[in-house]
Amino acid sequence: MTQDQGLIFAILAATMGLFLWGRWRHDIVALGALLACVITGLVPDQEAFTGFGHPAVITVACVLVLSFGLQRTGAVDALAQRVLPADAGPMLSIAALTGLGAVLSAFMNNVGALALLMPIALKIASKQELPPGRLLMPLAFGTILGGMTTLIGTPPNLIVSSFRAQSGAGPFSMFDFSPVGVAVALTGVLFITLIGWRLVPRREVVGVASFDTGTYITEARVKEGAKADGKSLREVEQLLEEADAQVVGMVRNKLRLSAPNPRRILQVDDVLVIEAEPEALGEVLSKLGLKLEAAKKPSPDEDEDEEHEDSQDEDAAAESKTEEKKDSDSDDRVLQELLVRPDSQLIGLSASNIRLRNRYNINLLAISRQSHRSIKRLRSTLFERGDVLLMQGDSADINDFANDYACVPLADRAISIPNPAQAGFAAGVMLLAVILAAFGVLSAAVAFAAGVLVFMVARIVPLRLLYQSIDWPVIVLLGAMIPVAGAMSATGAADLLARLLMEHVAQGNPVVALTLILVVTMTLSDFMNNAATAAVMCQIALSAASQLGVNADSLLMAVAIGASCSFLTPIGHQNNTLILSPGGFRFGDYWRLGLPMEILVVLVSVPLLLLVWPL
Predicted pLDDT at 317: 44
Q: Where are the alpha helices (DSSP H) in 108-154?
A: 110-127, 133-147
List the one residue out of 104, 69, 60, 105 whose CA is nearest residue 424.
69
Q: Could you tell me the CA-to-CA distances from 44 to 39, 50, 56, 69, 168 in Å, in that order?
A: 9, 10, 21, 38, 22
Mean pLDDT across the stretch 480-499?
80
Mean pLDDT across the stretch 357-363?
84
pLDDT tens column, 494-537: 778 777 877 777 777 889 889 989 998 888 888 677 777 888 88
Query: How far is C-alpha 548 from the geometric centre of its chain's CA atoms?
Result: 39
Predicted pLDDT at 356: 86
Q: To 5 degrees, how large is the angle CA 476–CA 385–CA 363?
A: 120
Mean pLDDT across the stretch 563-588?
77
Lowest mean pLDDT among 309-323, 344-358, 499-513, 532-546: 309-323
Predicted pLDDT at 473: 83
Predicted pLDDT at 216: 59
- Mean pLDDT of the chain, nearest integer: 79
Predicted pLDDT at 177: 93
Categorize the per-residue pLDDT at 184 as very low, low, confident or very high, splitting at 50, 70 and 90.
very high
Q: Is 50 exceeded by the pLDDT of residue 206? A: no
Q: Which residue has the higher pLDDT, 570 or 467?
A: 467
Mean pLDDT across the stretch 132-136?
87
Among the ranges 27-41, 70-84, 378-392, which has the highest mean pLDDT value? 27-41
Categorize the per-residue pLDDT at 309 as very low, low, confident or very high, splitting at 50, 70 and 90.
very low
Give the whole-angstrom CA distance, residue 32 versus residue 27: 8
DSSP string, 300-316: HHHHHHS---S-HHHHH
Containing H/E element for 365?
Answer: strand 363-369
Q: What percent of the chain has pLDDT over 90?
A: 18
Q: Which amino acid is at 75?
A: A
DSSP reduced 3-state for 68: helix
Q: Could you tell me the CA-to-CA distances from 545 to 171, 220, 247, 549, 555 in Å, in that order?
A: 17, 66, 66, 6, 7
Strands of 159-314, DSSP E: 216-222, 246-252, 255-257, 271-276, 290-292
Mean pLDDT across the stretch 315-341?
55
List the one residue out of 455, 423, 426, 460 whose CA is nearest residue 82.
423
Q: What count of other Cβ atoms lies within 10 Å of the Cβ of residue 85?
A: 12
Mean pLDDT across the stretch 79-90?
70
Q: Residues 327-361, buried b or exposed e (16+ Cβ, 10 A)?
A: eeeeeebebbbbbbbbbbbbbebbbbbbbbbbbbb
Give the whole-angstrom CA distance, residue 260 versus residue 277: 22
- The pTM for the full model equals 0.58
Give the whole-angstrom CA distance, residue 110 versus residue 112: 5
Q: Is 90 exceeded by the pLDDT of residue 459? A: no
pLDDT tens column, 93-127: 889 889 988 998 888 777 767 777 876 787 788 77
List the one residue out of 196, 187, 113 whose CA is nearest residue 147.
113
Main-chain dihedrals φ then ψ at residue 389, nearest 5 degrees: -110, 130
DSSP reduced 3-state for 134: helix
